[in-house]
Every structure is written in C-alpha cells, then in structure tokens.
Amino acid sequence: MSMRPQMSIDEYEELARRSPELVRLEFVQGKVQVKSVPDGVHGAIMMWLLELCMQHRPDHRLYPEQGLKVEESRGGRARPDGALALIDHFVPQGEWAAPDGVLMTVEVTSRDADTDRRDRVEKPGGYAEAGIPVYLLIDRDTCSVTVHAEPEGGSYRSITTRPFGAVVELPDPVGITLETEKLKDFAD
C-alpha cells in the first residue's frame, strides 16, 4: 500500500532551503522528518569512523550530512550521518546528490523517539532502493553495529549485527575491517 506523499519534492526542497540552519530536514517515505542535532558522543563516533575510512580508503572521504536523492519512486531526500565516496565526488552536485558512486551510508542512532523508525526501518529501504552497496548502522541503544549489504529490490539481502567490541567486515566495494572495541568507550 503506497501512501501519498505529504508534499511534492519541489515543495520539500523549498521548505528545506528556507528552514533555519539548526534544523535538519529529510523527506523519507513521503514524510518530512526532522533529524536530531547530534550530541558529543555522536560526533566522537563519526570522527572515529571518519579517521578509519581515511586510513583504509585514502582515495575516499566519509562526507557528513551530504544530502542524497533516495527512494526514486517517492522522490526521497536523506541526509545520512556519513556517505563514503571518492574525494570531490559531490563537488558538482549541489545540496541533493544522486546516490551513484556512494559506496556506503552511515547512521549513528540518536537519543530521540524517531530513531527506531527512521534509522532501523525506513532508511535501510531508501538506501537499498537507491542502490547504495553498504548501509552501516551504529546503534547506541543496543551497543551494536549492523552492516546491511547486497541491495536488491528495495531491501538489503544481507544484514549482520555484531556487538560493540567485535571485528566487523564492511564488504566490497567498501572493503574495510572495523575493530569496534573503541565503540565501548562511547556506550552510555
């Protein structure tokens, strides 16, 4: 059953352009959503991952908050906490980039009521539909890391969850092994 979007993509993009700088909006599954402003732990986790990506993939960068066009059927717009792509990949693309060339999206759960629905349920489908090879969810609530891979038909065929402290393989085309022991330091 397909729900009718709250507004057109043009109306959403105008709303996003006019929203205050501290408000981060997304358009996922036809609904405008407000994304929480990250706290210090969220920022520390993203910095840890950003440094690892730069070490293991020096030709790529983990771009924070890059707007991506997802959910082609509904004209979705998402701002993942991180999008791994070649250096300067997003330079000519503006605020909302095509997902082509993005190897991985990353979300770190926040302490808000919508995180379960948004990060664990809705976003994986949008990223899979966009053909993004890997979606990495760092889940602060469950102290776990979930790797979604092999997008097909709007969902990921492979989903693997490991606790903080485990060795986590990010499959090709990312090809990075994460030693997640450091994430235990960030558990609340």
pLDDT in tens, 16-74: 666 666 556 555 666 666 666 666 687 899 999 999 999 999 999 999 989 898 877 66
Average pLDDT (73-89) is 86
Domains for the chain: give ranges and CATH numbers. Answer: 39-186 (3.90.1570.10)
Query: How high is the pLDDT of residue 77?
Result: 84
> Of 73 and 134, which is predicted with more confidence?
134
Question: In terms of Cα–Cα distance, which of 168, 76, 64 is closest to 118?
Answer: 76
Q: Report the C-alpha gap between 18 and 178 in whole angstroms.
A: 38
Query: How high is the pLDDT of residue 1?
Result: 40
Instruction: Read off the pLDDT band of 138 (50, 70, 90).
Output: very high
Dihedral-angle region of residue 76 (phi above 0 means left; psi in -120 to 50 means alpha; beta otherwise): beta
Q: Report the C-alpha gap between 36 and 163 in whole angstroms.
A: 24
